[in-house]
Amino acid sequence: MRQTSVKIGIIVLIVLMLFFLVYEKDDRIQTPSRADYADNTRNIAFASADLSENKICNSLSIPLQHEITQYKKIERQLTDSEHEAVVVCRKRDLKEEHKQSWETFFANKVEYIRWNNHTYLNGDSTVVEVGGNVGAFSDKILSLFNPRRYIILEPMTKYSGMLVGKYKGVQNVMVLNFGLASEDRTDWVKLDGIETSRFQNNNIPKNQLSPLRQVNATDFFLSMGVGIYEVDLLTMNCEGCEYDILDAILDSNLINYFRHVQISYHHLNGLGDTLDRWCQYQQLLSRTHRLIYQYPFFWELWTRKDLKQ
Ligand SMILES: *[C@@H]1O[C@H](CO)[C@@H](O)[C@H](O)[C@H]1NC(C)=O
Ligand SMILES: *[C@@H]1O[C@H](CO)[C@@H](O)[C@H](O)[C@H]1NC(C)=O
């Protein structure tokens, strides 16, 4: 199990690094500055050796990626006013509001907002979609904006196989046959169309279950270079995995590297107190991002505060 995870990790790392190297324009590659080295205590000796910039680049002792990223864990501690807002939020009627959101969202083409709204995307953009299913969403984004890289995570082999077939020869699309979670793990689930989830009741005979492989979300983002590069859009519709992913990026400074974050929230038994979790995310996300659209407890889009659009 551990070995498989390590193998998956290494494969992801290599494939994603290659993908970035091939598709990244030179002008967007950020070389760490001397200040970055000096900041990093593990490299103090390196920085103080007074090497020329050139020599650093040619040296074999180029720091490993996790040493040059400025990844930091952040303790989640709400301020008094954030805590106050959560207390108020927790009084909301999740069931009723979710039902209303659902009805509004799927009436009169309102749902088109989840692809139409991303007009900031262009031929330079990177999109990460978690929960690709059979590609209804990716088709829309690709035909509207044709981003430079479109990375789709789809853990169910049946669907990811369909995606691979659909995007055969499409150079800017990469399909990865795993999902994200707080840790590397494999669950056995009932293949259930767009509702396949490890948080559903999967209580059927084992021989009818399919594997759902997941990779530690923090490891995944770091290995694809988030922290050096930014992701233009992270969009998640993954039957409950959104909570683990939000926890991973909000409990660290990774959140700063996602320019736009679009989320579909699910409320399944295995997910705990989703009212409380949703209320907390509203506070945590609004530290760095501003809300663009929201159908409460269902779909929403956040844009980083420094961006006009
Ligand atoms: C995105 O949605 C928001 C909220 O409905 C709206 O104000 C904005 O104009 C939309 N942007 C685009 C480009 O459609
Ligand atoms: C996930 O990966 C991060 C970064 O390597 C690590 O700090 C964290 O402990 C991992 N989480 C679990 C639950 O293994």
CA angle 278, 280, 284 (to 5 degrees): 115
Give domain status of residue 37, yes or no: no
Across the range 170-176, mean pLDDT stands at 97
> Do residues 298 and 262 make contact, with C-beta atoms less than 8 angstroms apart?
no
- 226 assigned to some structural domain: yes
- What's the confidence (pLDDT) of residue 49? 34
CA distance 62 to 230: 22
Q: Report if residue 131 sits inside a domain.
A: yes
Sign of torsion over alpha carbons 19, 20, 23, 26: negative
How many domains are there within the chain? 1
Q: Is residue 26 part of a domain?
A: no
119 lines ligand 1 (CB under 6 A): yes
309 CA from centroid of ligand 1 (Å): 9
Other Cβ atoms less than 10 A from the Cβ of 159: the count is 22
Measure the CA–CA gap between 194 and 241, rounded to whole angstroms: 13
Residue 173: is its pLDDT beyond 60? yes
Question: Ligand 2: does its nearest atom lie under 6 Å from the Cβ of 200?
Answer: no
pLDDT at 51: 34
Tokens matching residue 253? 């400074």
pLDDT for res 61: 53
Predicted confidence (pLDDT) per residue in 261-278, tens digit: 999 999 999 999 999 999
Task: Please list the residues that pair with 212 across neighbouring strands.
Answer: 187
Report the CATH number that the domain containing residue 55 is assigned in CATH.
3.40.50.150
In angstroms, the CA 303 to CA 300 distance is 10
> Which region holds residue 54: left if phi is over 0, alpha if psi is between -120 and 50, else beta?
alpha
How remote is the CA of residue 180 from the centroid of ligand 2, in Å?
Answer: 12
Give tens-digit pLDDT for 287-306.
Answer: 999 999 999 999 999 999 99
**Ligand 1 neighbourhood includes 292 CB (under 6 angstroms):** yes
Cα-to-centroid distance, 181 and ligand 2 (Å): 10
Residue 31 lies in a domain: no
| Of 8 and 196, the one with more pLDDT | 196
Helix (H, G, I), strand (E, B) or coil at 228: coil
In this structure, the dihedral spanned by the alpha carbons of residues 278, 230, 78 and 291, taken in order and rounded to 10 degrees, is: -50
Cβ(160)–Cβ(175) under 8 Å? yes
For residue 184, which atom of ligand 2 is closest to its CA?
A: 14
**Distance, CA 191 to ligand 2 centroid (Å)?**
28
Rounded average pLDDT over 119-136: 97
| Mean pLDDT of the region 169-178 | 97
pLDDT value at residue 202: 86
Question: Taking 70 as the threshold, does the pLDDT of residue 30 lie above it?
Answer: no
Paired tokens of 275: 């009212």
Does 57 have pLDDT greater than 50? no
Q: Which domain holds residue 122?
A: 51-304
Query: Is a pLDDT exceeding 50 seen at residue 97?
Result: yes
Q: How many Å lie between the centroid of ligand 1 and the Cα of residue 248?
A: 28
> Is the beta carbon of 283 within 6 A of some atom in ligand 2?
no
Q: In 10 A of CB 239, how many CB atoms?
A: 23
For a pocket test of ligand 1, which of 292, 301, 308 has the largest count of ligand atoms closer than 8 A to its C-beta? 292
SS3 59: coil
Q: 17 lies in a domain?
A: no
Give the residue, out of 260, 293, 295, with the most ligand 1 atoms within 8 A of its beta carbon, to mutate for a pocket test.
293
* Cα separation, 238 vs 220, whole angstroms: 16
Residue 25, in any domain of the structure: no
Region for 147 from its dihedrals, namely left if φ exceeds 0, alpha if ψ lies in -120 to 50, beta otherwise: beta
Cα(265)–Cα(102) distance, integer angstroms: 11
Test site for ligand 1: of 105, 109, 112, 113, most ligand atoms within 8 A of the Cβ: 113
User: Mean pLDDT, to the nearest integer, of 227-252?
Assistant: 96
Contact at 8 Å (CB) between 283 and 253?
A: no
Average pLDDT over residues 231-246: 98
Q: Ligand 2 centre and the CA of 184: distance in Å?
A: 9
Confirm or reject: Cβ of 182 under 6 Å from ligand 2. yes
Q: What is the pLDDT of the chain when averaged over all its residues? A: 85
CA of 58 to the centre of ligand 2 (A): 32
Burial of residue 105 (CB within 10 Å: 0-12, 13-18, 19+) is middle
The pLDDT value recorded for residue 66 is 53
Q: Which of 113, 178, 176, 170 is nearest to 147 (CA)?
A: 170
- Separation CA 61–CA 232 (nearest Å): 31
Residue 10 lies in a domain: no
